[in-house]
Amino acid sequence: MTIVINMRDGLDERKIKVAGRLIIEGKLVAFPTETVYGLGADALNEKAVRRIFEAKGRPADNPLIVHIAEFDDLKKLAREIPKEAKLLAEKFWPGPLTLVLPKREEVPLVTTGGLDTVAVRMPAHPIALALIRASTPIAAPSANISGKPSPTLAEHVVDDFYGRIEAIIDGGPTWVGVESTVIDLSSERPTLLRPGGLPLEEIEKVIGPVEIHPAVKGKAVDLARAPGMKYRHYSPNAPVVVVEGPRERVREKIEELIAEYRSKGYRVGVMATEEFEADEFFHLGETLEDVAKNLFRALRELDRRGVDVIIAEGVEERGLGLAVMNRLRKASGYRIIRA
């Protein structure tokens, strides 16, 4: 039995205590963050964390992110906190930034995917922060079945996990829409492992140049040092095709593809920043912030509408566009058409 805890109208301390008690007891609780919904368990409880992997069907070598509510909690998880971590935390926490640091022995290897590092962030959502304060540091990947689009509404979590976890906190829609940016500070040079809700340009203003891991642009890796690096992610049931290139040529190519797929009897869905004559259309919005917020919802919604193929408009890789394109390319299995 899964209880759905309604907090759409705001934080309810009584309900938070109930959910916090479930975390302390080793149960699984899905909760909203500013990025996407997370599937949470006590990060230091090995048995509870294993249940996350079982519920999601997640490979054991795919590390989890530990969510904290106070900077001092970082000292309980990381054995070293370099100056770059302090600078970034001071500037961007709470917020969509995850830092990878050398882990303390107290952090179970199951939480870190067998690595000697731990990924940590402080979410900027009042419900998430209150839940952590009512319990303990919480390990929480996105609250979706592994490989499916991440959830930005409680309804998405219900679709994937109702009857399989103890509780889902419904805090309404998330407002960033893509997961946190992950920066590795455990080695000699800061490295971007996953683009996300905090643009790389903002991070470099604080700590200087950051290397970009080849996995960000799609190169295969054997070792995942952060979530989203190694495995198939974000994919709906319908195949996704991404069209990239100059805006005017992208429009022409999408129109050509719509006609081509329809001629084969396919029901076509399009997700883009301007309208198209397709069987189903999802407007992503006008700005990169809009596109990021609506991205996963669009993939799930077009699936729900029963399309046979999804054509997605590519965006420029600046600011949040780097995270959007990282997710779209993974969702498509790198089925990319250059216009």
| Residue numbering of the annotated binding site for ATP | 58, 62, 117, 150, 194, 234
Distance of CA 134 to CAs 18, 24, 93, 111, Å?
9, 9, 19, 20
**Residue with token string 């040079």:** 189
What are the residues whose beta carbons fall under 8 Å from the beta carbon of 9, sequence distance 6 or more?
none
Instruction: Evaluate the CA torsion angle 49, 77, 60, 198 in order and state its sign.
Output: positive
Q: Which two tokens stand for residue 140?
A: 């929480």
One-letter amino acid at 332 equals S
Cα–Cα distance measured from residue 332 to residue 339, given in angstroms and rounded to the nearest whole number: 16
Distance of CA 58 to CAs 63, 135, 214, 255, Å?
10, 24, 22, 37
What are the residues whose beta carbons fall under 8 Å from the beta carbon of 167, sequence distance 6 or more?
2, 3, 4, 5, 18, 19, 22, 27, 28, 29, 30
Burial class (CB in 10 A: 0-12, 13-18, 19+), 195: buried
Cβ neighbours around 274 below 10 Å, total: 14
Q: Which two tokens stand for residue 60?
A: 């054991």
Where are the alpha helices (H) located in the chain, listed in sequence order?
13-24, 46-56, 83-92, 126-133, 154-161, 200-207, 247-263, 288-304, 321-331
Residues annotated within the binding site for L-threonine are 35, 67, 121, 140, 142, 180
Task: Give the 3-state secondary structure of residue 143.
Answer: coil
One-letter amino acid at 145 equals I
Residues annotated within the binding site are 35, 58, 62, 67, 117, 121, 140, 142, 150, 180, 194, 234
Q: Are the C-beta atoms of 234 and 327 separated by less than 8 Å?
A: yes
**Residue with token string 């952060």:** 226
Cα–Cα distance measured from residue 144 to residue 331, given in angstroms and rounded to the nearest whole number: 14
